[in-house]
Structure 1
C-alpha cells in the first residue's frame, strides 16, 4: 500500500482500444466515459418496493450491492410448503435491472426460523433444512450470486432463547453435528445446485472462537469464499486501531473480508454494560443533532479505514433509514421523515465523490485508444456509434478491447 495514496490498491489504469463491428479502430472519435459502479462492494440492505420512491432513489444514488434479508426461513416460509418466493423475486429483479449486485441473507440460522420446524423429529428437520438451502439457491440462480451461507455458527450449538420452551431444531442439529459439520452441511448443499455462488461464513463473534472455527473449517477442506464480519456499533465506534486489528487477524486466512453488517448510531449510545444488544429496550431512541454530527464523522473514519485495508472486499451498511433500523436504534443514514442525515452526505462524498470518476469526455487517438484511470470498477463508454462497458481492474496498467 502506498504511503502517498492509501487507496492505490483500489485503483486501476487502462488503455481502452475502441473498434467498430468490423474491428476497425475508431480513431479521432469523441468518447464519453461514466463510472457505473465500484469493483469494491459498497452495500446496504435492500429497501422494499413499497417504500417511498425518494428512499429508493437515495439507496441507488449511494450503493451498488444489496443484501436481501428476506430469506430468514421463518418469514420466507411461515407455513410449511408456502414460501414468499414471488415477492422476493420481484424485489431481486428490480435491483438487478438497475445493475445492483445481490446477496441473500441467510441460508442457515438458528434464529427467525419456522416454529413448525422445531416440532419435527430431528432427521426430518435436517432433511428439510438441506432441501431449503438447495431450493433457494436454485430458485434465485442468476439473480442472487452471493449468500451468507450460515450465520452466527459460533453460538449456534448453545443458543437457547425460545419463548415457548420448544427446543430449537437448528440449535439441536448444530449441537449434534458440531459447528464444522453444520458449515459443511450448508456449503455442500449450496454447492450441490451447481451455481457459482459466492458463499460467506458470517458471524458477530470477532474473537478467538470464530478464528478457531475458520481454522477448523478450512482444515476440513470446506470451500468458503469469504469471511463475514459483523459490527453493530450501538455502543460506540470501534476506532481505526480496533478495525485494523480485526482485519489483520482475519486476513491471515487468505480469504476476502466482508463487513456484512455495520451500523453507527446518531443518538445516545447504548450503555457499555449491555452484553447482548438485543437486551436493550427503551421507549424511544431518537436521533439527535449532536449524535448525527458524531455519526457523520465516524462513518467517514470507518469506511476510510476499511477501504484502506487490502483484505477488505465489501462493506454493507445495515439499514438505510431509521424507520426500519434494527432494534429501533437511530442507526440509519436517513431519518424517519425521509431526509438524509449528515452521515448520508458524508458517505456519498466518499463513495460517489472522492472515490468516483466524474463523467468525462475524451477523444481517441489514431489507433482508437483512450486512457482511463480511476477506482477499479465498471465504466460505461459511449460514442456516436453506440455504447459499451469496460471493467477496470486494480493494479498495473492494462489494455481493454471494446467495441462501440
Structure 2
C-alpha cells in the first residue's frame, strides 16, 4: 500500500463527510470515558506539587513572604513545522505567521528534504535553516530536523549515483555532515522517514531501489549509527505513517548489541485527510508503540477544516462548519495525547492553509493568517488550562506550595520591604520538588 493510497483509501466525500468516517453508534460514551481517563492522567503525570522555601542569610525560615510563580515554557513539546518561515512576499503575513507560531508553540520542525536542501551535489543550503534556527532561539523554541533519509520521489535529488556503494557513502556523508554541523543547536532528528514503504517505491526512486536491496532494518540502522556518532547526545527518531505491525517489527529489530533501541523516540504520523481518527484508535496506537520502551512523538498531525471535492489532492477551502468540528476534535485529540504518559511531543502539520501539504485546509490559521477556532482552542489549552500561574505567602516554616505543570518557571519572591528576588527554575519531571531561595 502506497503512502497516498494509505491516506486516501479511495474516499470521495461531501463537505461533512470526513467527520462521519470511522464513527459508529456508541462512540460518544467511549470517547467521554477516554477523555475522563486522559484528564486524570494529566493530573497525575504532567504536573506535581512544588514547594518554595524562603530562608534568610543565616538559613532561618522567613514567614509572610510573597511568592509568585509564572510558567515560561512547557517541558512537553507542543510544535508545528516551520516550513513557511521566510517564504511570504507580503511582510505583514510573514510577521503574523511568526507571531502566531511563537505565541502557541515551543517546538518547530525544520525541513531537510534532500532534493531541496542540496539540489546540486556539494552545495547544501544551510543559510535558510540558520535563519530559522536564529529566530527560534530568540523565542526559546526547540527545533528538530526532518528528514535525513527518505526515498520519496520529491525528496531524492536527481544527482544520486547509480552504484549502491557510492549511494551508501552519499547517505552516510549527508547524515554525518548535517548532524555534526548543527550539533548543540539542533539536537532532535527524524533520521529515517517511512522505512515501511520501500517495496512500494522500489520501481520509482533510486533511494527505494537501494533501500529495498538492504531491507528496511539495514536501511534504517546505518543512518542511526552514523547520526549517533556525529552527535552522541542527540535525540534520534524513526518516523512513519503506517502505524501497524510492519512498522512495529522494524522498530523492534533496530537494536544495538546491548539490546536497546538505536533510536530515542518513536515517530508516529497522523495525517487525517480521510477524517479524524476515533480516540480509541489513538489510544491503541499509543499502547502498542509504548511497548518498545521509548517515548512517542506524534510528528505530523493533520485535521482538516475543508471538504474533499474529488479524487486525488482535490480539496475545498476552509468552511465555518468544518472549522468548528476541527476545533472540537483538536481539543479531544490533544487532551488524549497529553494525557498519555508515553507521549512527549505533538507536532501539527501545517500552521497555515497557505502552503499546507496537498493544498488542503489543514492549518490552524487561514490563508490570511487569521486564527481558526482550533488555534484558539489550543491556545486556551496550552497557555491557560495546562499553564501554571500562582501566588501565595510563605507559612511559619518559610514554605509555600502549588501544583505546577512540568516546565521552566520564573519565580518572584517579595520581602516585607517590597524588594523582589527573581529566580529562574526548572520544574520538570527530573527536578527536585523543593526549591530553596535565600533573601
TM over 0.5: yes
Cα separation, 1, equivalents of 2:423 and 2:177: 35
User: Per the alignment, do residues 160 and 26 of structure 1 end up closer, same or farther by CA in structure 2, a change over 3 Å counting?
Assistant: farther
Q: Partner residue of 1:14?
A: 50
Cα separation, 2, equivalents of 1:94 and 1:123: 39
Cα separation, 1, equivalents of 2:197 and 2:97: 35
Cα separation, 1, equivalents of 2:308 and 2:405: 35
Q: Partner residue of 2:143?
A: 102
1:353-368 paired onto structure 2 within 5 Å: 353-358=384-389, 360-364=390-394
Q: Secondary structure at the match of 1:380?
A: strand
Q: Partner residue of 2:245?
A: 208
* Correspondence 1:73 to 2:73: no
Cα separation, 2, equivalents of 1:242 and 1:332: 23
Q: Secondary structure at the match of 2:196?
A: coil
Unaligned runs of 5+ in 1: 163-167, 275-279
Q: CA deviation at 1:50?
A: 5.0
* Correspondence 1:390 to 2:425: yes
1:1-400 paired onto structure 2 within 5 Å: 5-7=40-42, 8-17=44-53, 27=62, 29-46=65-82, 47-49=84-86, 51=88, 52-68=94-110, 70-111=111-152, 112-160=154-202, 162=204, 168-218=205-255, 221=259, 222-269=261-308, 280-282=312-314, 285-358=316-389, 360-364=390-394, 369-383=399-413, 384=419, 386-394=421-429, 398-400=433-435
Cα separation, 1, equivalents of 2:202 and 2:394: 65
**In the alignment, is the contact (CA less than 8 A) between 1:157 and 1:178 conserved in 2?**
no
Q: CA deviation at 1:385?
A: 5.1
Q: TM-score, normalised by structure 1?
A: 0.88
Q: CA deviation at 1:287?
A: 0.5
Q: Secondary structure at the match of 1:142?
A: coil
How big is the alpha-carbon RMSD for the aligned residues of Structure 1 and Structure 2? 2.7
User: Per the alignment, do residues 402 and 205 of structure 1 end up closer, same or farther by CA in structure 2, a change over 3 Å counting?
Assistant: farther
**In the alignment, is the contact (CA less than 8 A) between 2:352 and 2:363 conserved in 1?**
yes
Cα separation, 2, equivalents of 1:161 and 1:176: 12
Unaligned runs of 5+ in 2: 1-33, 89-93, 414-418
Q: Partner residue of 2:23?
A: none
Per-residue CA deviation, residues 294-319 of structure 1 (Å, 9 max, x unaligned), is 10111111111111222111110011
Q: CA deviation at 1:333?
A: 0.5
